[in-house]
Structure 1
Amino acid sequence: MTEQTNARDLFRAAYENRYTWDAGFPGYSADIKLKQGDEVYEGKIRINKDLSVEVTGIEDETVKESVYTQLRDIVTHRKRADFEKAHGKNQFNVGQEDSTGAVEILVQGDAMGSNYKIRGKEICQVSRVMGRMAFVIDTQKSLDTGKGYVSSRYDVVFRNPQTGETIKEMEFEDSFSEVGNYWVMTRQVIHSNEQGQRITTEFNFSNVKLLEPVAV
C-alpha cells in the first residue's frame, strides 16, 4: 500500500507540474506559415477561450486539417484537468529506475494502457497502446515557465503492438513565448521518418495576440 501511495504521489506531483492555461485564458490569434519541403502555406489561426480552434486562409483542405490537428494537440497539452477526474480510478505502482534516474510508473485501469516514466517532477516518457498502434514519447528537453514545465524537445516512436515493428519515428522541437500572462507555441519543427523517407514540417506562428474578453 505504501508503494501504491508513493507511486500515485510521484505521478500526481509531475502531472500537476505541467504548464496549463488557467480559467482566465482569453484565447489568442496568430498568423501561421507552414513549410513542408518546397511548399509554403500561410493563413490565420485562433484558439478561443473555450479552447475551440479555427483555421482560415488555407485553401488546401489536407494542409488545413493538418494545422487544425496540430492546434488540437496544443490545446490537449495546455488544457487544465483535475487529477482525480483524469486518473482517480487508476492504480499506480513504481517500476524500475533507468540509468538516467527516471522511474517507471506502471498504471492499472487506464483505458489506453498508459505507462509513464518520471524524472524529478516531470513526466519524461509516455507509453500507450491505442488499437493497432502503440507509441512511446520520450522527452529530451523541457522549458520551465515558472508556472510549470512544457516539453520542448521530444521523440515519438510508433510501433505495431503485435509484432513490435517500428512504423514511424518523429522528432519534435517546440519553441514558446510568453504573451501577456500566457505561454504559447511560436514554432514547431517536426522531422518524420516513415518507410525510409524523411520529411521536415515547420509551423511558425507570428503576430500572436491574446483575444479581448467579451463584454457582458
Structure 2
Amino acid sequence: MTQTLTAQDAFRAAYENRYTWDEKFPGFTATVTFTHGEQTHTGKVAIKADMSFEVTGIEAIGAQKEIEGQLWEITVHRVRRTFEESHGKNSFEFGETFADGSQEIKVTGAAMGNSYKIHNNVVTFVNRKIRDVIVNINTFDVLNTAEGYLSQGYDSVYFDAATHEPKGTKSLFRDSFEKIGGYYLLTKREITYVENDQVVDQKVFTFTDIQF
C-alpha cells in the first residue's frame, strides 16, 4: 500500500535536511575583516557554544553593528531546533507545483500567510511576514553535504505588508564555507545591493584564523 506524503511530511524533510551544528559544537574565534566601499575594518569575533557572540577590536560603532548582524544571521541558521520547536504551532498544505519541479507549501495556524517552496529536499523560497514587512528569500545555489545543505547563493527582497510595494534594495548573497574541525563554517560573505538592475553597494565579510 502506497503512503501519501503530506505537505507537513514534505516540509519537515526539507527542514531537517538543513545543515546545523550539533550539541557538541564548541564555539570558535576568528579574525573578521569587513570591507564596505573604501573602508576596511578588522577585529575579532567569537561565537560560543551557547550561540551567543561578541565582536572586539572594532572602533567604529557602525561597523561593529554590521558584523554583529552577520553573527546573528550565522547563529540563527546554524542552531539546531526540532521541527516541533520551530513549526509545532503551524499546519501545512500543498499549493502550486511549478515547472521546475518545486512545490509550494502554504502555512496555516500561527504563521498563516507564510509560504515556502521546496525542491529536492531543499527550501528554495521563503515568503514570510515579519510585523509590517514581508520578506522573500530565493535560494538558487546550495552546498550539499553528508550532514545537510547550506545555502551558498540567495537573494532577499522586502515588501510593505499593507501595499506589497518593494522596500529598499534587493540584496544578493554569496557565501563560502570551509569544513574545519568537523564543522562547516562561513569563511566569506559578499552582499551585493541591487536597485533597478544596477549594483548600488557591496559589503564583504571574511573570517580567517578560525580557532575552536
Q: Give the TM-score category using the shorter length.
A: over 0.9
Alignment correspondent of 2:207: 205
Query: How far off its partner does 1:131 sit?
Result: 1.9
Structure-to-structure mapping, 1:175-214, within 5 angstroms: 175-193=176-194, 198-210=200-212
Report the TM-score, using the length of structure 1 for normalisation. 0.92
Q: Contact 1:112–1:129 at 8 Å: present in 2 too? A: no
Long gaps (5+) in structure 2: none
SS of the equivalent of 1:138 reads strand
Q: Deviation at 1:110?
A: 3.3
Task: Quote the residue 2:81 is aligned against.
Answer: 81
- TM-score for both structures, normalised by structure 2: 0.93
| 2:46 is the counterpart of 1:46 | yes
Contact 1:112 1:130 in 2 (8 A): no
Per-residue deviation, residues 15-50 of structure 1 (Å, max 9, x unmatched):
000000000000011001111111101001000011
| In 2, Cα distance between equivalents of 1:146 and 1:197 | 35
2:98 and 2:112 map into 1 onto residues whose CA distance is: 23
Contact 2:45–2:56, Cα closer than 8 Å, also in 1: yes
Contact kept in structure 1, 2:14 and 2:122, CA below 8 Å: yes
Q: Which amino acid aligns with 1:185?
A: L
Structure 1 residue 90, shift from structure 2 partner: 1.1
> Could you give the per-residue CA deviations for residues 94-114 of structure 1, whole angstroms, max 9, x where no partner exists?
000112111000001234742
The runs of at least 4 aligned residues of structure 1 exceeding 4 Å deviation read 194-197
Gaps of 5+ in 1: 211-216
Aligned to 1:213: none
Please, what is the CA RMSD of the aligned residues? Answer: 1.7
SS class of match (1:80)? coil
Q: Once the 2 structures are TM-superposed, how far is the Cα of residue 58 of structure 1 from its aligned partner? A: 0.4
Structure 2 CA distance, aligned partners of 1:85 and 1:207?
A: 34
Please tell me the residue identity of whatever aligns with 1:10. A
Aligned equivalents of 1:153 and 1:197: distance in 2? Answer: 17
CA contact (8 A) 1:145 1:183 kept: no
Q: Percent identity?
A: 38
Please tell me whether the aligned partners of residues 34 and 42 of structure 2 are also in contact (alpha carbons under 8 angstroms).
Answer: yes
Number of aligned residue pairs: 208
**Contact 1:112–1:128, Cα closer than 8 Å, also in 2:** no
Identify the residue that residue 214 of structure 1 maps to in structure 2.
none
Measure how far apart 1:69 and its partner are.
1.1
